[in-house]
Structure 1
Amino acid sequence: MCQTDTVTPVLLDETVHLEEPFASSWHRFDFISRIQLSVPVDVLKYQPGGSKTGITFLWKVERTRTQDEELTQTTRVVSSLQPFLPQYHTRYMKKEFKRKVANVARVTPSIFEAIYQEISHDSSVPSNPLMNQRIQVALLGEPGIIVDLRTLNSGRPGDNFEEFFTKMEEAVNEVTAADDQRHGTAHLSQWLTLEDLIEQVKSKCPEGTRVPSKALVRLQFAPQNPYTRRALNFTSRFEIKYKIQRRQLRASHPDAHFCAALFKFLRLRMYQLRSDIFVLFIDDKAKIPVGEPGEPVSTGVRGRHSIAPSTSQLAALDHDMTSKGSITSTVYMQPNVPSQPGGSWYSGKVKIVVQDSVFQKSTAYRNAAATVRLAQEDPSGWKPIHVKYSDGGSEHRTLLVKVQLSLIAIFKMLELDMLIACRAAPGQSWQNPVERVMAILNIGLQNCALERDKTSEDMENLLKRCSSMTEIRKAGENNPQLAEAWSTSVAPVLDTVAGRYSRLRLKGEPIMTIDAVTDAEEDSVMQVISTLFPAFNPATVTKHQADKDPAFTEWVQKHCRQRQYLFQSHKNKHAVCVDFFISDALEKQQKESGLFTAQHARAVVGCMECSKPRVIYSMRLLSSRHQATLAEALSEDSMDYTCGSHILEPRHGLASAVQVRLALSCGDPIELAYYCAPFGRQDLCAHCGGPQGNTLPSLLEKFKTVLPCCQVCIGAGKMHIVARPYGTHK
């Protein structure tokens, strides 16, 4: 104690501080009671209770300490020792805690005891020390501590089926290599059944090879769920398992990223104009087949459990070959514009037009008439801007002339200031927010079979001669009574589907159904088009005819801008048409090709993606003030130039004075003007922009222009870029 610091507790351990341990507990008590030291000490005795031996702590104190210091020091030492003192709980305390936990969950006794010790710091001896030790190892959460005994199983000695399994492994590896070429997606199952797999492997084995049973082969597969107890029976020797084909593979398209970015910018613009905008997300649901009289056909929606009387049976034909008609459900979603730019667009009002696919075919003009009706019925009032987003169907594709005419008709009938029609890339209709409504509509169509009513005998005999919707339409043109009879026959089916739709909700908002567009409404749309462009018939017009009409071409040039996935129309506010749309920068640059020469090269900027230098051009020499302004703009942290983009913002003072080529991409080589300019480095490779590029003397003898190329690019199969061979005028 003389060598320890003041107020430093020391545990009295008889195995350390005494030459011989105490013979009995009485000797221990007598020793502690009569202990005498050369320094003043405080003594703390802790008695856990029961048969456990007491614990004694001693610590040296100052002789001249006051009474307040004595109380303060003692309290601090006791508080510091409190976490290290063992606790021993009674059986009643554990039993009471276990009774409370049993009301919440069922826990095995060993796990319960480990949990109790963990949260209460109970130092009692566990009832099953071996099991408690295993649980403590698991609680450590270190997977390296536990050894998977299956890895130590080298198989049965002298296995008679090893040759068969070797051939099977080769067959599995062949299929895996083929699937890797499809990025892990296979469209055909390689083996029909387990017997087929065994037979294919057996055909590759030598004569007399022993073949294992189906049960033994199946146990070599990977388990369906590796976290179940049943998975312990599988060896996972082969990475194959039973699987069901998923029908969620999305088709890819080169313009998918562009259209996704276009829709992102469109949503941001709609958010900015949210008080003056009328938005519609449009899409047609998959056609619903309608069976003939007495032959109900399933809607085709994947079946789920539905509520039905226990005494009845849900049944339908096991095929739809007898179906001649179908129902088209056109979904119009008017979303709630979010309060934040990145908010959700998947809530709002949903209205569905349920129509017959035979005589009420979904066309661009019918969609235009429905859009006009929805806009005029909107209780929020007239909005000067209309935005429409849809997929790339024939009635929505903005490159088709009938679709463009229908959009112009909407623009005129609603007296809009601006109309924007955007569509998704082919095969990417899932980007349309209205697609999420289709899953809700499937709830109303699951476990449902439809059939039309029977018409008169004459009409039924006439319909039996028709095998498709096209033939029914042709027959209806020759016999107007057939169209009326067919409409009467399918009317109850349309009411049934519309009634099931109207019982659904989207985030608490009821889904509404509206009447199909009448022929009069469709004719009113075409009448507006005929008034604007009397030279052609809107019902039969082709793009070739429209392009030859001066009225149509002039109207489109003044009011519209059309792109691959976008169509816009703007209203003239002056007698003379104003140039509302921003001119295409790339087309403008192509007209100003004389700017991009070596004599107009003024500076250089590096691409942040490919690190290649790109030349900055200007028709006039930059003054010292302009050079300083340009250098300051290029040195800003927010300056992230990439090939093909503008170097300065349109509002910048030098935006019209300095330019870079917009037709460049990161895959294009360094421009020739860079090497001809005084600031150009002659050792940079034209392909990658790396150093140590050189030119070949043999090429310099044949060509006037030879751009440098590094050894890395030459090794990759790239050649020196050459131009202007000797012996020609150029």
Structure 2
Amino acid sequence: MQLDLDMLVAIRTAPNHSWMNPAERCMSLLNLALQHVALERNTMDEKFEKAIKNKSSLTAICNLAEYKEGFRAAFSTSINQVIDKINNRFSRMKLKGENIITYKGVKKEEIEDSLDIVCQFVQADHTKLNSSMNSKELHKLKDLKDFIEWHGKSCHYGFQLKKCGNCPYCVLNPIRLDDAVFNKLHFLPDPIPDETGQHYKPFDQLYGMMTNDKHRPSFANVQGLKAEADKINRDVLKSGKSRDVILCSECFKPRCVYSNTKMTREQDGILLCIREEDNYTCGDAFPVDSGLFVRESLSCNSEVEINYYGATMRHFVPPCCIYCGKTEDLLDDVDDYIQNLYTMFSVVRPLCKTCRTAGKEAKTWGKKLFAKRS
């Protein structure tokens, strides 16, 4: 919005394919610039140094800056010398004869200014939209979500936006390209297998078609080594040994965390660090020596585990839709559809209105048997 682009396409590299990304290919080169370099930030006021002493992640430091008055400015001043030194070292490096270009991070004030513009056009309350929100919280803002769904396409590895020409934003910021050129612009298609299933269809055959990313390898239920790992850990991956949950940073579904015994303080700390980093995704494994386990054969396409609804967990986790993991807008027990299912089954798993509207049926268990009348 701030750049008034007619179309935006942002793509990230798939796992194990970073060699295709020039920004990641130069990482080994940048490591050369840091050889024999000692980095040390300037000392802050004693009260700030005490506050930051036990903060072991960037998330923890950012959270501290939100409520500790004066900390943000003090830390920025303290770290500036380090940033300048790294930028200077990197800018002296070359990749294929071209100098590496470095940029400083965007300031919070600039992010807030951009959010002001977003709020004006999506009619969102700026008190609910701020720079400290994570992706899960942003997904809960209906106005913003509706705007993105109307103008964009989002998938696991890409995010695309395109002006529509009809909404208030597009009327105030009309399309700048010639109509003939703009009408030829389409969202980048997702890879789709051909009839053989061994190869993907060519790009020119798919360009202009609406596709989804259900055929990406990580979208399908993971088999092989990860399924084998679950077999090895099957004795611990049981309802009675589920101790906590962690949210996937991609699909936001809750995944059960297991351990053979009640979690120790050290294990609580490990789980807290993983949550703060917000980098857990379905299928990831926990550190081998942590004593914590998750199902590695799950993907973002997998439903919420049945163990999530077990007796061990139900007392401290909220009910969520078994398909998408949402805790809001669930069909309640007085809904006619749910009531009808309870007449036939003992257990009906939670289902949200969105998934029901999409045609999904509630998961049930324990069919009730009725004695035949003589």
* TM-score bracket for this pair, using the shorter chain length: 0.3 to 0.5
TM-score, normalising length: structure 1: 0.22
| More RCO (CA 8 Å, sep 6+) | 2
Larger radius of gyration: 1
TM-score, normalising length: structure 2: 0.40
